[in-house]
Structure 1
Amino acid sequence: MAIHTTLTLAIIALVSSFANAYDPSPLQDFCVAANDPKATIFVNGRACKDPKLVTADDFFTSGLNTSKLPAFTGSTYSAASINEIPGLNTLGLTLIRNDFAPNSVTPPHIHPRATELVLILEGTVYFGFVTADPSDRTKNRVYAKTYSAGDVFVTPQGLIHFGANIGAGKVSTIAVFNSQDPGFNFIPDQLFGSNPPILDDVLSKAFRVDKKVIDQIRAEFS
């Protein structure tokens, strides 16, 4: 009886972990996000617009032929996310256009809630991600190569990844995420630009360098 109970609990825990791994599946055709300060019921953190008031414009955006907003040094972006398309609420998708200047670098970062699929529109980019080495879990392996226009690559959910424009001109990409809120966590900024700061002793031991080196790096993020 005890074995049966333990096995049942293990199966429930496993199923629950998979169920919570991605955006929940909607139980209606759509739930257009509405800015309603009086709302008391939310789906994925947004109130649903009255279906009778929904229009085609709730499922539309434009302008991704160019990028408009600063992302990080040397990069700009335009988005087709829930903020631009209210009808994306509960559908588990985000699309981003990025343009990268020559010699720019995409800092190591993660998307904790989404897998990323990227299409190269223009240019040449070196891109890769890091994960534990399957042959030796105490070590890490980089999966990286050079991509050019027409190439597509994928980054599994939650893994550290990075990129660099290694061509003479700009790089343009379209990235699709299987979450309406994939998260963009840049590793250097989180480690060295946090408030309050992480203790120097923690970072110096983690990176195996003198505390003066940590102070020098942190100064670049202040």
Structure 2
Amino acid sequence: MAANSFFFWAALAFAVVVDSSSSPLFCSAYDLDPLQDFCVAVPDQVSAVFVNGKLCKNPKLVTVDDFLGFGFHLPGKFAAPTGFSVTVGDVNSIPGLNTQGLTLIRVDIEPNGVVPPHTHPRATEVIVLLEGTIYAGFVTSNPPDGSKNRLFAKVLKAGDMFVFPIGMVHFQRNVGKTKAMGIVAFNSQNPGIISVANSVFGTEPHISPELLTKSFQLDNKTIDYLFSKF
């Protein structure tokens, strides 16, 4: 009886994971809940105890500085030619964030600068705009009825907040005349990032040009040009 019960639940779990074509069978995953008060990350195994995310510092050796971060009052290095920068507050800069399911970044965007279309495969994102004016939005996944993907986009001003659901392609553009700055939060200590353009045209080695010309309905010369840009 126990064996039959195990195979029943295993089969049900498999069905929930693989059958995304029919509602309501779907599966979502997030960072595991912490199993202790905190798990301050350390780079070596000798002084570590417990495993939950990164290796954890012995609680007896934890100090208040393990929960302290710096630098959010300053912009990061601006990327050319997109014109945006990020200052990251994550487990690598604040060890006490380990297992807490949280990452913060400060994003600065120059006038007419853009954060190009990208996704975060492991996190929902919310931005709180503190300065400037930006155009921000996301695109839904392919609808099952064959209709077009939907765009949800809005012009945000200082004080506005906007949510980018987990895994959705999204973007921001500074449409004002002054610098824009916001604080972004992710519900994962490792949200990941996949840039749409870089992942298609900036791989090593390149994706087959024949595949891309057919997929994007472009000629070989245009595909080669895009390769050179990324």
TM-score normalised by structure 1 residue count = 0.89
Residue 77 in 1 paired to residue 81 in 2? no
Q: Separation in 1 of the partners of 2:17 and 2:227?
A: 42
Q: Letter of the 1:81 partner, please give it.
A: D
- Does residue 60 of the first structure (1) align with residue 64 of the second (2)? no
Matches of 1:158 and 1:15, distance apart in 2: 16
- Is the partner of 1:140 in helix, strand or coil? coil
**Cross-structure match for 1:194:** 203
Higher strand content, 1 or 2: 1
CA contact (8 A) 2:72 2:106 kept: yes
Residue 213 of structure 2 is aligned to residue 204 of structure 1: yes
Residue in 2 that maps onto 1:12: 13
Separation in structure 2 between the aligned mates of residue 71 and residue 87 of structure 1, nearest angstrom: 29
1:159-185 deviation line (CA, Å, top 9, x unaligned): 100111110011101000000000111
2:29 paired with 1:21: yes
8 A Cα contact 1:100 1:170, kept in partner: yes
Tell me, in whole angstroms, the C-alpha distance in 1 between the residues paired with 2:92 and 2:209. Answer: 38
1:163 and 1:204 map into 2 onto residues whose CA distance is 27
Whole-angstrom CA distance in 1 between matches of 2:211 and 2:17: 36
Q: Using the alignment, how far apart are the partners of 2:112 and 2:143 within structure 1?
A: 32
Offset of 1:219 from its aligned partner? 1.1
Q: 2:150 aligns with which of 122, 141, 154?
A: 141
The residue number in structure 2 matching 1:114 is 123
Which amino acid in 2 is paired with 1:62? F
Secondary structure class of the residue paired with 2:211: helix
Structure 2 counterpart of 1:170: 179
Partners of 1:136 and 1:120 in 2: how far apart? 35
Q: CA deviation at 1:199?
A: 0.6
Distance 1:133 1:172 in 2: 31
Residue 211 of structure 1 and its aligned partner are, at CA, apart by 1.3
Q: Which residue number corresponds to residue 40 of structure 2?
A: 32
Deviation, structure 1 residue 145 = 1.2
Q: Counterparts of 2:49 and 2:60 in 1: how far apart (Å)? A: 19
Which residue of structure 2 aligns with residue 150 of structure 1? Answer: 159
Give me the CA root mean square deviation.
Answer: 2.6
Q: CA deviation at 1:137?
A: 4.0
Q: Could you tell me which amino acid in structure 1 is paired with residue 68 of structure 2? A: F
TM normalised by structure 2 equals 0.86
How many residues are treated as equivalent by the alignment? Answer: 218
| Counterpart-to-counterpart distance in 1, 2:172 and 2:212 | 24
Amino acid at match of 1:56: V
